[in-house]
Amino acid sequence: MKKILFASSEVVPFIKTGGLADVAGSLPKCFDKNEYDVRVILPKYECMAQKWKDMMQYKTHFYMDFAGQSRYVGVLETVYDGITFYFIDNEGYFSGPKPYTDWHWDVQKFMFFDRAVLSALPVIDFRPDLIHCHDWQTGLIPVYLNDSFQGGEFFRGIKTVMTIHNLKFQGNDNAEQFMRLSGLSSYYMTIDKLRTGVDGNMLKGGLVYADAITTVSDSYAEEIKTPFYGEGLDGLMRARSNDLRGIVNGIDYVDFNPATDKFITAQYDASNVLEKKLQNKRALQKELGIGAGDNRFMIGIVSRLTDQKGFDLIAYVMENLCQRDVQLVVLGTGDQRYEEMFRWFAGKYPSKVSANIYYSEEMSHKIYASCDAFLMPSLFEPCGLSQLMSLRYGTLPIVRETGGLKDTVHPYNQFDGTGTGFSFTNYNAHDMYNTVMFAHSVYVDRRDEWNKLIARAMAEDFSWQASAKKYQEMYDWLIG
Ligand code: ADP
Ligand code: GLC
C-alpha cells in the first residue's frame, strides 16, 4: 500500500474559499483504494461550521518550538467519505472569521502549519511515502523536510510533490523576518533557493525543493514558463521544466450531478435537459425577482470578484450588455469595486441584473443549472472549475482562451458543427462582448444548434478518473 498525504490550507467539505478546496477534497477519493492510502491534513479553523468540528476526534497533542516559543499543536481526526482527515489545532493561529487574514500573519500561520505537519507525523505514527503539497501555504514542507527533519530514520526518503493552483500567491515576507519566523538559516535566503527580491518566498521554496511539480492544466504549465504568467518565477519554471507537468482538474461527479442535485428545482440529465432547465430558469427568475421570460438569454457568473477573473472587461461593457435582451445573474464576493459595480447595475436594471454578493453553495448550484450560458473571461486561469460545473449542467461556457479554460472548453465552430462553448483570445472587452453577442445570436436564431451544443457539453467527461490515474503514475514513478 502506498501512503500519500495531501497537505492543503482548504478542503471541502470542511472549509472552502475557492477551487483549491474542491480539488483537495474530491481528488483523494478517486485513487485506487487497493493501492493507495491517501489521507489529508489541514488546519482546524475556528471559522469551520460546528457540525464539522463536532465530528473531529482528539488524537494527540504536543509542544513544538516555533518562532522563538514553545507552541501547542493539537491533532484531531475524522473519517469522512472513506478518507482520513487530520486537523492541526492551534487557537492562536487558526482563529478569526476567515482562513486567511492579513498577509504577514498568514505567512507566519502557514509556516507554523508546515512545521506542525511534519512534526505531527511520527506522533500520529503515519509515515507517508509521499507528501503532496498544494499552493504556497504548504511550500515550506519540502524545505523543512530537506532541512531540519532530515536527521532521523522516520523522514528519510519521503518524497514531495508541489502542485501550483495559482502562481500569483507566493507567501513572501522580508528575508530577515522570514528567517526569524521559519527558523531557516541564511543558507536558504539566496536567489537559487527561497529568495525573491528582498523577500523569502514560501512557494519558491516548495518549487525548488519538491521532487516534482505539477499544475492544474497543460496550458498553464506552459504559460508559467513565460514572463507574463510566470509571476517572477518563470525562470525557475523553465529550469525545472523536466519535473513540471500539467494535470487538468476534475470535479466531483457526485456532488455536481444535475440528475440528483438536491439544491435545484428540477433534476435532469441529457435526455430531458431542455424541458427541465427551463423549469429551473423560471424558478430562479422568480426567486431572484428578475424579469420572467423563457427566451431571455440568462448568463451566470459564480466567482471570486477579482481582477484574475476578468471583471474589468465585464465592467467596461456592462452598460452595453444591459441594453440587450440578456439577464446576468452574479454570485460572488471579493473586490469592493466589483461588488459595488454589480449592485449598482442591479439597481439600475432590476429585471436584467441580479447581484448576489455572498457565498452560497446552494445558489451556485441553482445558477449552474438554470442559466443558458456561463461567463468566465479570466485574465489567467490555472484550471478553473466553474466552467467544468457549467458543462456538466449543460450551461454553455463563454471563456477567454487561457490556462485551463482553453484546455476544457472547445469553441463552437458553426461550419463543422463542433464545440462545447464559446471563446475569445485577446484580453479585450469588445472581443468578449462580441463573443457574448455571438452566443446570444446562436441562442436566439439557431436554437437547434444551441441545443446540440448543450448535448455535446453534457457528453464531456471531467470526472477525476483520467486525472487521478496521471497522479497515480507520477506517485509510482517517484516512490519507485
Ligand atoms: P478559483 O479557485 O480561482 O476561485 P475555480 O473556478 O477553480 O476558481 O473554483 C471556484 C469554486 O468556488 C467553484 O466551486 C465555484 O462554484 C465556487 N464559488 C466561487 N464563488 C462562490 C460563491 N460566492 N458562492 C458559492 N460558490 C462559489
Ligand atoms: C486556483 C485557480 C483555479 C483552479 C483552482 C483549483 O484557485 O485560480 O483556476 O481551478 O485553483 O486548482
Domain range list for the chain: 2-250+465-479, 273-461
Query: What would the grid cell of residue 359 be?
Result: 457565498
| Ligand 1 center from residue 395 Cα (angstroms) | 16
Task: Look at the block and give the residue holding cell 477525476.
Answer: 464
CATH 2.70.98.40 fits 2-250+465-479, yes or no: no
Q: What is the mean pLDDT of residues 15-19?
A: 96
- Taking alpha carbons only, the member of 72, 54, 55 closest to residue 63 is 72
Report phi then psi at 181, rounded to 5: -75, -45
Q: Which of 302, 367, 368 to mutate to test the pocket of ligand 1 (most atoms within 8 A of CB)?
A: 302
From the CA of 382, give the closest atom in ligand 2: 9
**Could you say which DSSP state residue 136 is in?**
G
Calpha distance 216→247 (Å, rounded): 5
**Is residue 185 a contact partner of residue 179, using CB atoms and an 8 Å limit?**
yes
Closest residue to atom 11 of ligand 2, CA basis: 165
Residue 29's SS3 state is: helix
Q: What is the mean pLDDT of residues 399-417?
A: 97
Kindly list the distances between the CA atom of residue 435 and the CA atoms of 204, 217, 377, 429, 441, in Å, as whole numbers in the listed order: 38, 24, 10, 10, 10
Amino acid at 382: P
Calpha distance 323→388 (Å, rounded): 29
| Ligand 1 center from residue 18 Cα (angstroms) | 5
CATH architecture assigned to 273-461: 3-Layer(aba) Sandwich (3.40)
| Ligand 1 center from residue 120 Cα (angstroms) | 31
Q: Is the dihedral of CA 60, 64, 67, 70 positive or negative?
A: positive
Work out the number of other CB atoms within 10 angstroms of the CB of residue 262: 7
pLDDT in tens, 274-325: 999 999 999 999 999 999 999 999 999 999 999 999 999 999 999 999 999 9
Q: What is the mean pLDDT of residues 322-347?
A: 98
User: 2-250+465-479 and 273-461: same fold?
Assistant: yes
pLDDT in tens, 416-460: 999 999 999 999 999 999 999 999 999 999 999 999 999 999 999
pLDDT in tens, 89-140: 999 999 999 999 999 999 999 999 999 999 999 999 999 999 999 999 999 9
**Is residue 109 a contact partner of residue 35, using CB atoms and an 8 Å limit?**
no
Alpha helix segments (H runs only) across 289-393: 311-322, 336-348, 361-370, 386-392
| Ligand 2 center from residue 249 Cα (angstroms) | 9
Q: Is the pTM of this model over 0.75?
A: yes
Q: Which of 16, 100, 165, 168 to mutate to test the pocket of ligand 2 (most atoms within 8 A of CB)?
A: 165
